[in-house]
Chain A
């Protein structure tokens, strides 16, 4: 069963990726990241993504802290945070998150406080969604690696008999 599941797992992963692409959550840059993963850096993508999560959570905390403050007026600082967030999101291909950042930045440029609040909530939502999906992706990946490590010669034949109907 484990042998079969390699293909099924790969299919699941592809399906998830396709879905994420379709939804616009991820873009081509993520594929590029995956290309960079090779024998010398087998965990490249997950390392990058983990750093991204770390950074993003810090940025989101800062943003929320700034906005919640009653005497808030430092839109510029928010803009700085947002630029960082945008940069890192582009680097890993988190397209939807980046787009929300763009809208958020526009709101800060207009000093539009309620707009910023709305954008922040949307940002947090998108970020959570992305994080969940990426975690899911990595889980499947892990399982696939584990499953691939188990070698059954019979796996090949079974593969041929059961074409992928994902």
Chain B
């Protein structure tokens, strides 16, 4: 036998078993070799595979296993020692690698497994996100619908359109079969079907408001599902298929007063409307939550839109009312102005027209008195005189009162003696009082100043009026007049608690009390005393006379003098006390008088000397020119009469003292002449005084004349006396104050 270094296979060479083993080993080796190949191929293909080292290991392990099984093939038969050594080496290597791999796998396999759990987790997450996305999408769609609805609803301020649009859009968005709005009636006891989407209701449907289902809906701000059979939901004629689900929601009807400045409108209002929405009958649709939310939001928006519409309506109505009132006010103002203008015109005319005949009557009657008359005639003439004097006084009073009310009366301030004023009043009243056998006493307090600054004539008028009234209404006894300086603590009129006489350095308050023992006055009648034309004693003696104007005028004069007048009486038969307080200036202090100071020369004795003074008269009317020239010549002036403005400007020199311009010349601007004359003379002392002669008594003419630079205005026709006094004042002071 040859010696071969061969190794005997461990097992006997059993033919069949050996064959199967041989084949299995072969296939195993084949598989073992192809697996790593596949692995490598697919790993190469994949982008991500973090375990390359493991793969290498695994590959090595598999290859070696394969190699082992492959080499095993040769060990089935007799084989050399080399083969055995190779076999052993590969086995050892395989053992090493496989152990290493086994060790490695301990680390790897949990990782691999966790991949799977992560995948599962991610899948769950994705499913969740999907669900959420679906929700958001629905919400977004709802929001879009609401925005669109709101836009539609709020784009109009017309109530009807708002409600109609709401129903239409809701119907469209939600695919409703019917949508209706029930509004509360005026009485608030019923709901009336006001708007429906499709079904036009010819008959007015009403439903009492106290139904439980309605209360249920009104008590919550959410949309409530109600039964399709409730009266509010039975909008379609019945007899169809299964009616769809119905939902109702309340719509608050906000009022203007609900909107406070800083707060959101409070829903304390009890007025709601009811919106009912019906799904299509045979659709088996259900109300989803997001749809209900949509309906609630829409209901709120509608409420806001309605309230805006209401506010707008309100403000439009208010604006129309205001405009109407404005127009009415304007018209009233214009009417009032026209009336005032008419009255002023009337007054201006009547002033002259009424006084002229009166003067004529008085003048002629006095002339008549001086002729030889029989006793009866004399009596008649005296009566005529007395009556006409009374009438003249009345006319003056009425005209004065009108001017007082107009505010155009100005006090003529001047220095006067208080003592002589009271004495004069006393002298005037004594004769009448003695006829009635009444005594009159006057007591003047020693701290009264001797002289005062004020309107003497009007103060005398007030005093005479008050004293005259006292005498008139006293049958027996007498009158006592007392005058003193008013102190702040003197007894005040209970009806005028705000009047405080506060003396100052320049002024003092004169207080005069006239007490009589006469018939007295009912305290209730006292407020009426100072009202115009009201007679407080209609049944009094027939010759009580008076038109009721006296006290009213007194009150106005006293008010002009910044004072107060009132009457106190304890009742009928207990006498009366009339008290007035007026503000007078103190002589010698620096008085700020409203008018330029007119010094009343004590008695105008002797004519003022006009001899030789040069004046110019401009009048284009020859008659008027001649009359004015005659007038001035009569007074002693040296008059130059011209007929045109040009001539006037040409001949005027610094020697002329006064220029009289007739201002009523139509188509001719006397104002221009005045301006030119002023321009001709630069300095004041040389310039002649310019006086306008006008037949127009209104303020406008006066103001225009003064504005142009004229020094005064005289009303035509001018009497001799008037011209004389005006010119003497003028030449003494250099300017003219009063023109009428």
A-side residues, CB < 8 A to B, are 18, 21, 27-29, 31-33, 35-36, 38, 40-41, 44, 47-48, 51-52, 55, 79-80, 83-84, 87-88, 90-93, 163-164
The 6 sampled A-B contact pairs (Cβ below 8 Å) are A18-B364, A27-B357, A41-B633, A48-B626, A88-B623, A90-B624
In contact, B626 and A51 (Cβ under 8 angstroms): yes
Contact of B372 with A163 in the complex, beta carbons under 8 Å: yes
Q: Residue on B with the closest CB to A35?
A: B720
User: DSSP class of B's interface residues: helix, strand, loop or mixed?
Assistant: helix
State whether B623 touches A55 (Cβ < 8 A).
yes
A90 to B662, CA, bound (A): 13
Q: Which chain B residues border A79 with CB–CB below 8 Å?
A: 666
Q: Is the CB–CB distance between A164 and B359 below 8 Å?
A: no
Contacts of B622 on A, CB cut-off 8 Å? 51, 55, 88
Q: Which B residues between 252 and 306 are near A, CB-CB below 8 angstroms?
A: none
Contact flags B343-363 to A (C-beta < 8 A → 1, else 0): 000000000000011011001
What's the Cα separation between A137 and B363 when bound, in Å? 20
**Shortest beta-carbon distance from B726 to chain A in Å:** 14
Answer whether A48 and B621 are a contact pair too, CB < 8 Å, given A21-B360, A35-B720, A90-B717: no
Question: What chain B residues lie within 8 Å of A28 (beta carbons)?
Answer: 356, 359-360, 363, 719
Q: Given A87-B664, A87-B695, A32–B371 Cβ distance below 8 Å?
A: no
Whether the pair A32, B720 counts as a contact (CB closer than 8 A) is: yes
Q: Is the beta-carbon distance between B633 and A40 smaller than 8 angstroms? A: yes
A47 touches B364 (CB 8 A): no
Closest A residue, CB atoms, query B372: A163
Measured between beta carbons, the chain B residues less than 8 angstroms from A164 are 371-372
**Contact string, B622-649, partner A, CB cutoff 8 A, digits 1/0?**
1110111011011000000000000000
**Is B685 an interface residue when CB atoms closer than 8 A count as contact?**
no
Task: Collect the chain A residues with CB atoms within 8 Å of residue B372's CB.
Answer: 163-164
Interface centre among B622, B631, B662 (most CB of A within 10 A): B622
User: Known interface pairs A41-B634, A83-B664, A87-B621. Does A31 touch B363 (Cβ–Cβ under 8 Å)?
Assistant: yes
B716 at the interface (CB under 8 A from A): yes
Residues of chain A within 8 A of B624, CB atoms compared? 87-88, 90-91
CA–CA, A42 to B630, complex, Å?
11
A21 to B361: give the CA distance in the assembly, Å. Answer: 9
Smallest CB gap from A84: residue in B:
B621
Q: A27-B356, A48-B623, A84-B621 are in contact. Are A91 and B717 (CB under 8 A)?
A: yes
What total of chain B residues lie within 8 Å of the partner, measured CB to CB? 28
| CB atoms of B623 and A51 under 8 A apart | yes
Q: B631, A92: Cβ atoms under 8 Å? A: no
- Note all chain B residues with C-beta closer than 8 A to A44: 630
Inter-chain contacts of A40 with B (CB < 8 A): 633-634
Least CB distance from B371 to A in Å reads 6
Chain A residue nearest in CB terms to B367: A14
Residues of A within 8 A of B359 (CB): 28
Q: What is the bound-complex CA distance between A35 and B722, given in angstroms?
A: 13
Question: Which residues of chain B come closer than 8 Å to A87, judged between CB atoms?
Answer: 621, 623-624, 662, 664, 695
Question: Please, which residues of chain A bring their CB within 8 A of the CB of B621?
Answer: 55, 84, 87-88, 91
- Count A/B pairs, Cβ under 8 Å: 81
B399 to chain A, nearest CB (A): 17
**A27 CA to B624 CA, complexed, in Å:** 16
What distance in Å separates the Cβ of B653 from its nearest Cβ neighbour in chain A? 24
Please tell me if B10 contacts chain A, counting CB pairs below 8 Å: no
Are B360 and A32 in contact, CB atoms less than 8 angstroms apart? no
Instruction: Identify B717's interface contact among A32, A55, A83, CB under 8 A.
Output: A32
Given the known A-B contacts A28-B360, A80-B667, A163-B372, are A90 and B630 also in contact in the complex, defined by CB atoms under 8 Å? Answer: no
| Docked CA distance A36–B624 (Å) | 14
Q: Who on chain B is nearest to A80 by CB?
A: B666
Q: Which residues does chain B contribute within 8 Å of A47, judged by CB atoms?
A: 626
Residues on B with beta carbons closer than 8 Å to the beta carbon of A41: 630, 633-634
Query: Complex Cα distance A40/B637, Å?
Result: 13
Q: In whole angstroms, how far apart are the Cα atoms of A29 and B372 in the complex?
A: 26
* Nearest A-chain residue to B357, judged by Cβ: A27
Point out the residues of chain B lying under 8 angstroms from A163, CB to CB.
372
CB proximity of A91 to chain B, nearest CB, Å: 4
A41 to B630, alpha carbons, bound, how many Å? 8
Instruction: Give bound CA distance, A83 to B356, whole Å.
Output: 21
Which one of B364, B631, B695, B716 lies within 8 Å of A36 (CB-CB)? Answer: B631
Least distance between A80 CB and chain B CB atoms (Å): 6
Q: How far is the CA of A47 from the CA of B630 in the complex (A)?
A: 10
Say whether B626 contacts A36, CB under 8 Å. Answer: no
Q: How close is B218's CB to chain A, nearest CB, in angstroms?
A: 74
B627, A91: Cβ atoms under 8 Å? yes
Of residues 48 to 83 in B, which have CB atoms within 8 Å of A's CB atoms?
none
Flag if A36 contacts B630 (CB, 8 Å).
Answer: yes
Task: Map CB proximity to A onto B653-697 as digits: 1 under 8 Å, 0 otherwise.
Answer: 000000000101011000000000000000000000000000100
The 10 nearest A-B residue pairs measured at CB: A88-B623, A91-B624, A91-B627, A87-B621, A36-B634, A29-B717, A163-B372, A36-B630, A52-B623, A91-B623
CA of A54 to CA of B726, assembled, Å? 32
A-side contacts of B666, CB under 8 Å: 79-80, 83
Q: Once bound together, how far apart are the Cα atoms of A55 and B620, in whole Å?
A: 12
Using A84-B621, A93-B717 as known contacts, list a sample of 15 further A-B pairs with CB atoms less than 8 Å apart, ordered by residue number in A. A28-B356, A31-B360, A32-B631, A48-B623, A51-B622, A51-B623, A52-B623, A55-B621, A55-B623, A83-B666, A88-B621, A90-B695, A91-B628, A91-B716, A163-B372
Min CB distance, A155 to chain B, in Å?
Answer: 16
CB distance from A127 to the nearest CB of B (A): 13
Contact of B720 among A36, A51, A52 (CB under 8 A): A36
Give CA–CA (A21, B662) in the complex, Å: 27
